[in-house]
Chains A and B, each alone.
Chain A
Amino acid sequence: MNYIWLGMMLLGIGFSCCNGTLDQLSQAMMNSCGDAISFVLEMAGVMGMWSGLMNVAQKTGLIHAMTGLFRPLTRRLFPQIRSEETISAMVMSFAANLMGAGNSATVFSLKAMELLDRDNDGRPVASDAMCMFLVMNMYMVQLIPMTVLKLRQDAGSVYPESIVIPAALVELVTMAAAILLCRLLERRGREGGM
């Protein structure tokens, strides 16, 4: 993470020097700090709400019932994860992503990452389950790409939905690739003594 971030910052500043866009850059840098704050504020509300609801679901035992349903699937994908709380957060996150629920999906994903971190005992090296969850979530099939449909409609498309099925197909392929690659690389990582 350290080097990725450093790379982005220094590359950006370096290029800006060459391009003579330093004034725009400094403007953009200041703006992005404000953006980060407003993004978190926006997210905080949604996060609070879902966190509250999930707490209800957990304490009433709904989560326990739900995770039982997904056990066979999650056991294969995340063999090391036993915690029901973690599994339910991951399942919810997948569901929200599938439905294209935007911010709610992000909230569940972050919750799941937090719990995965706890299951990983806060170690500085990402666990297999974290990587698997991240890439799966990243390339999750989205059944209803609302924003894209809206953009197509606005642009005057005759048939905005024509992309839904091909898009789902492509996404299915990328998701399968993501899962397979993740399995492959996590095995290699372990043999390499990670």
Chain B
Amino acid sequence: MSECFRWISVMFVPFMCAGILGYGLWKRAPVYEYFTEGVREGLEAAVTMLPFLMAIFLGLETLTASGAMELLELLAKPLLRFFGIPEQLAPLILLRPVSGSGSLAVLEETLEAVGPDSFVGRAACILSGSCETVFYVIGMYFSVTSVKKIRHCLPIGLLCYAIGVLGAVWVCRIL
């Protein structure tokens, strides 16, 4: 099962690649030229992204490194208890919106502490899938646009985050 999943995931890139190039061959198109032309555009986009990414990396790092998260954790605990969410999940829930790699490290620690097949462990895994790095995604996606007003993106991102957390805990309780 695990092997099978890995294969599907690994196959995605090479198969897409072969499909596109194969189609090009069939159409007798100058594939090589088109490819290099596209690469140039891609690299230009990467460079334009950089200043905005720098800003978002800096902002998120400042917030996490300052210890503001620990205070938030303290404040969030009664709220989590109210919704029946195990306390051990608090660090993960709070870090996930701002840092993908950071929250993975926390997930690893949580799994080691409580065991991957326990209720909390399973909930933590599902949560990592169903909840997203909201701030990070918004910052990065809009970095390539000229948008200044992001309208309802942030409220929806956060609201769905809450739904994801509750869903993860409830589904583990039922199944």
Cβ–Cβ < 8 Å partners of A50 in chain B: 42
Provide the B35-67 mask, 1 if CB < 8 A to any CB of A, else 0.
Answer: 111110111011101100111111111111111
By a CB distance below 8 angstroms, the chain B residues around A109 are 141
A139 and B77 alpha carbons, distance in the complex (Å): 25
Partner pick for B42 among A14, A52, A100, A167, CB 8 A cutoff: A52
Interface centre among B16, B29, B71, B148 (most CB of A within 10 A): B16
Q: Judge if B81 is at the interface, Cβ distance under 8 Å.
A: no
**In the complex, which residues of chain A have a beta carbon less than 8 angstroms from the beta carbon of B117?**
157-159, 162
CB–CB A146/B140 < 8 A: no
* A47 close to chain B: CB less than 8 A: yes
Task: Choose one: B39, B65, B144, B146; the contact of A49 (CB below 8 Å).
Answer: B39
Q: Which B residues are closer than 8 A to A by beta carbons? A: 1-2, 5-6, 8-9, 12-13, 16-17, 20-21, 23-24, 27, 29, 31, 34-39, 41-43, 45-47, 49-50, 53-68, 71, 104, 107-108, 111-112, 115-117, 121-122, 125-126, 128-132, 134-135, 137-142, 144-157, 159-160, 163-164, 167-168, 171-172, 175
> Would A125 and B147 count as touching, CB distance under 8 A?
yes
Chain A residue with Cβ nearest B6:
A146
A11 surroundings in chain B (CB, below 8 A) = 63, 66, 68
List which A119-137 residues lie within 8 A (CB) of chain B.
120, 122-126, 130-131, 134-135, 137
A15 in contact with B150 given A39-B57, A161-B1, A169-B171 (CB within 8 Å): no
Cα A70 to Cα B164 with chains together (Å)? 27
Interface of B is mostly: helix
9 A-B pairs in the complex with CB atoms less than 8 angstroms apart: A8-B59, A9-B58, A52-B37, A96-B12, A117-B145, A130-B153, A131-B152, A131-B153, A167-B129
